[in-house]
Structure 1
Amino acid sequence: MADQEQQVQPSHVVMLPYIAQGHIKPLLCLAQLLSQSGLYITFLNTHHNHKRFANLQALSKNFPNLHFDSISDGLPDDHPRPSFDLDYFLGINVATKPHFKDLLLSYRSNSSHHSVCRPPPPVTCIIADGVLSFPVEVAEELEIPIFSFCSHTARYLWEYYTIAKLIGKENNEEEEINPMPGFDLGCEDLPGFDMEILDQSPSLQVLIDGSLAMQRTSGLIINTIDDLEASSLPHIVPRFRKVYTVAPLHALLNSRLGDRSHVIASDGSLWNADQDCMTWLDSQPLRSVLYVSFGSLVKLSHSQLVEFLHGLVLSGYPFLWVIRQDVLFDDDTDGVIEKEYQVGPKEKGYIVDWAPQEQVLTHHAVGGFLTHCGWNSILESIMARVPLICWPNWGDQCINSACVVKLWRIGVQLDAIDGSSIQSTINTLMGNRRDEFQRSVDRIAKLAEDGISEGGASHKNIETLVNDIKKIKI
């Protein structure tokens, strides 16, 4: 009888994202998709992020097979966690490893404090963010199959497998460094690492370690679109036992949720979205509003914030601007938004701490998106058919921006942070080149839509992933 009960137990997948919002959201979308397919999912966060999740009850209600648990990030609960603390971000691999291992062992012994009364089924496999190398080490120690999840593009991942070729390579006026094979871009589009100290960069080493650890897993799940990365994927695929391209995950999920998608989209966010901005958007003309958001980590100086504000007002277009409470480098500038905002008519702009971005981008009033070029934001903008103004800061944002501007031609880059340049760039996107960018983004969106439709690559790869997990013997 016990053997029969074990046979009918669902496959149990433990999913572990990196600690940043931009990594949590796509993996949570994947968790929801897998839970809909009958898999038992435990989604792990740090204790700190678990407490910040916007609406876990709603997620659990809509996805009965989706459960939540948390582990320590190595810091006391009352310890401050700045929005971008490099030592904290880089230290996660070391600080969290023992807690992750202990949790998996507790599942094995049925001694965990899981979010449901009954103990979870035995762990079938792990899906962990590829930025983290320690889950691979723990999975190998405990002999649990593990898949890597990549929240960024194949181009960005390919960079870390080939960047060693750039270390120590001299670049002089007579010899131009050629683009990397499969990259489609020039070396000027690589993230802003100083080539002279590239091999000594701790952040780069963490990314390289994670990328190399990925290759020891059962497969790579990557939130990208085949047709947009046809040059890079052939270089990635041979390095893995299996590769599942599944983007855009948010759109794939929404296609299966139907009318529930807008209700669920913001659940699981680390910020509470201001829904009142949707009413303001209702009052604005078709494609007239510029949406502005620099994601969950980018910070601005006081002067940059003021220049952005001046440029937005001078452009004449209404704007919806996300300004997080922790967006400024200088903590002594409370109230600067309210003071500086007197430069323009308030009816032309709406400022929020956080917005329901998927809903905003799909609103008929939004005609452009000024963004830091995080991969989630680009995918959401493509699916909403909204052209972009790119202001990349670090990491994959530089490559993403180059793809938007040079390869896909669905936006423009902001080259200078002054009111006049910002005004001019907005007018280019929203005014004299609007139709050009709209045609391009419509074409790219069609490729993405084909991928998530029945028979499309992303649609089939999710089904293949589910079947592969169900075949795992424990």
Structure 2
Amino acid sequence: MNCAKGKQCRIVVFPLPFQGHINPMLQLASILHSRGFLISVVHTLYNSPDPSKHPHFAFHPISDGLSESPDSAPDPVRIIKLINLNCLQPFRQCLHALLSHGDVKCLISDANWYFTSSVVDALSLPRIVMRTSSVGAFLAFAALSLLRAKGYLLDRDSKMEEPVEEVPPLKVKDMPAIEMYDAEDAYKNIAKMVEETKKASALIFNTFEEFELPEIRRLHEQFASPTFAIPFHKCFSAASSSLLAQDRSSISWLDNQPPKSVLYVSFGSVAAMDTGKLREVAWGLADSGHRFLWAVRPGLVHSSEWLEMLPSGFSEATSGRGIIIKWAPQQEVLSHPSVGGFWTHNGWNSTLESICEGVPMICSPFFGDQLVNARYVSDVWRVGINLEGGLERGGIQEAITKLMDEKEGEEMRKRAMMMKEKIDVGLKMGGSSCSALDELIDFISSFQRVAG
């Protein structure tokens, strides 16, 4: 590495304060630390990571304007807008202090921190952007401004099944939905994120070249920066960076179940539903007759503490074949031999983890890139069933039966295992993922030292 003699090079990372963004960033930081880099983590007070879980990193909290009253900004899209405004000056001061105390190679920033581009430019510091979505989903976000100008997203309900020729294989209904607050404002911020990403020194995606090669090629046509596809979670577990306490009793329960017999159900760390949809999910599971492990995160149901909204009779109907917990050690669950399927919201981390373990999916996307991921799972990779009709008990029961019992589900499982095998090859010496990591290390090491 091109650092001063006797000194180690430092990388500054800046994760977005959501579970699905913090995990990948700290996994990447752990990978880079294992290659000899010192790591400084700049983070907001809102959803702050626990420094005690990462004693080998230096943590630097900055003011975000949300921490005292996070309920004032309940929507993730709104939070992203606010923290981009609130964190500019605190981040600039923190980064300037870090640069004055040693050799800093670069900043690795979540793509949603679009304000960091102007800060690092003023300090002559290279900025690498990490995107936590799939490449396919990022291309969909990048195309939103063009598609809105062409009228694709006007009167969306009447065009749901129409293909979007500019972003194959997506349909209009798969385009990232912005319904959380002021949609016009949100689209402007997405356009800003895409614009600032194009200025980055390089892009890092938490993905595999093996199943996004066409999308990576399309990305190269639009973005000039070098791109590195690296599967972070295959190198370091997300357990240590989880914001939620994991219930490990689920593993001992799985140990006592037959192979491939359990459907694991989890809708992620942000998605929410109303009581009616929760009851449809519950009765769909009950009516299927299958074993299940269901992670019901506190806050999953609006105005609910935890399980008080479950329908009367559900516990009796599922006694002995299902358990409900608050949060699972997901990677360990998906790799367990008793798990035969995953009913997911299709956040990218969950989708990626499922494919890496050869587990087919039932897809219930809620918003954003989840819609894109579900379409790829069901129509491109063909390793899952998309619940196109929403959360309705009859459709849920049918999908569970198809995935867990029928030939179509077994074919999905075989395709998922074939993808897993390709991924495993890419992780070996000389494979695509291993080579991408080596190239990233060389790329970062080539940056000129930033003098303090």
* TM superposition score normalised by structure 2: 0.90
3-state SS in 2 of match to 1:321: strand
Residue-by-residue CA offset, 1:305-329 (whole Å, 9 max, x unaligned): 1111111111111111111111111
Q: Could you say which residue in structure 2 is the equivalent of 1:94?
A: 85
Matched, 1:465 2:448: no
Q: Could you say which residue in structure 2 is the equivalent of 1:437?
A: 412
Residue-by-residue CA offset, 1:294-348 (whole Å, 9 max, x unaligned): 0000101111111111111111111111111111112478622485643423321
Q: How many angstroms does 1:48 deviate by?
A: 3.1
Q: Indicate how the Cα distance of structure 1 residues 229 and 79 shifts in structure 2: closer, same or farther if over 3 A, else same.
A: closer
Matched, 1:291 2:267: no
- Mean Cα deviation higher: 180-189 or 24-33: 180-189
Q: How does 1:399-414 map to 2 (within 5 A)?
A: 399-414=372-387
Q: Indicate how the Cα distance of structure 1 residues 67 and 185 shifts in structure 2: closer, same or farther if over 3 A, else same.
A: same
Matched, 1:316 2:289: yes
- Output the CA distance in 1 between the equivalents of 2:396 and 2:295: 17
- Output the CA distance in 2 between the equivalents of 1:84 and 1:363: 34
Q: Is the 8 A contact 1:306 1:340 kept in 2?
A: no
Q: Which letter does structure 1 place at the counterpart of 2:85?
A: V
- Output the CA distance in 2 between the equivalents of 1:199 and 1:82: 13
- Output the CA distance in 2 between the equivalents of 1:81 and 1:71: 19
Q: Is the 8 A contact 1:25 1:268 kept in 2?
A: yes
Q: Could you say which residue in structure 2 is the equivalent of 1:241?
A: 225
Q: Which letter does structure 2 place at the counterpart of 1:186?
A: K
Q: Indicate how the Cα distance of structure 1 residues 85 and 169 shifts in structure 2: closer, same or farther if over 3 A, else same.
A: closer
- Output the CA distance in 2 between the equivalents of 1:303 and 1:387: 26
Q: Is the 8 A contact 2:145 2:191 kept in 1?
A: no
How many residues end up aligned between the 2 structures?
Answer: 439
Q: Is the 8 A contact 2:295 2:324 kept in 1?
A: yes
- Mean Cα deviation higher: 459-468 or 28-37: 459-468
Q: Could you say which residue in structure 2 is the equivalent of 1:395?
A: 368
3-state SS in 2 of match to 1:299: coil
Q: Is the 8 A contact 2:141 2:176 kept in 1?
A: no
Q: Which letter does structure 1 place at the counterpart of 2:319?
A: K
Give structure 1 stretches of 5+ with no counterpart: 111-120, 255-263
Q: How many angstroms does 1:49 deviate by?
A: 2.3
Q: Could you say which residue in structure 1 is the equivalent of 2:145?
A: 164
Q: How does 1:6-405 map to 2 (within 5 A)?
A: 6-50=4-48, 53=50, 56-60=51-55, 64=56, 66-77=57-68, 79-80=70-71, 84-110=75-101, 121-170=102-151, 179-181=164-166, 183-192=168-177, 201-238=184-221, 239-246=223-230, 248-251=231-234, 253-254=235-236, 265-331=238-304, 335-337=308-310, 341-405=314-378
- Output the CA distance in 2 between the equivalents of 1:200 and 1:338: 34
Q: Indicate how the Cα distance of structure 1 residues 46 and 179 shifts in structure 2: closer, same or farther if over 3 A, else same.
A: same
Give structure 2 stretches of 5+ with no counterpart: none
Q: How many angstroms does 1:230 deviate by?
A: 2.4
3-state SS in 1 of match to 2:68: coil
Q: Indicate how the Cα distance of structure 1 residues 154 and 5 shifts in structure 2: closer, same or farther if over 3 A, else same.
A: closer
Q: Indicate how the Cα distance of structure 1 residues 219 and 420 shifts in structure 2: closer, same or farther if over 3 A, else same.
A: same
Q: Is the 8 A contact 1:369 1:388 kept in 2?
A: yes
Q: Is the 8 A contact 1:17 1:45 kept in 2?
A: yes
- Output the CA distance in 2 between the equivalents of 1:291 and 1:165: 38
Q: How many angstroms does 1:131 deviate by?
A: 1.6
Supply the RMSD in Å over aligned alpha carbons.
Answer: 2.6
Q: Indicate how the Cα distance of structure 1 residues 40 and 410 shifts in structure 2: closer, same or farther if over 3 A, else same.
A: same
- Output the CA distance in 1 between the equivalents of 2:298 and 2:321: 21
Q: Which letter does structure 2 place at the counterpart of 1:219?
A: A
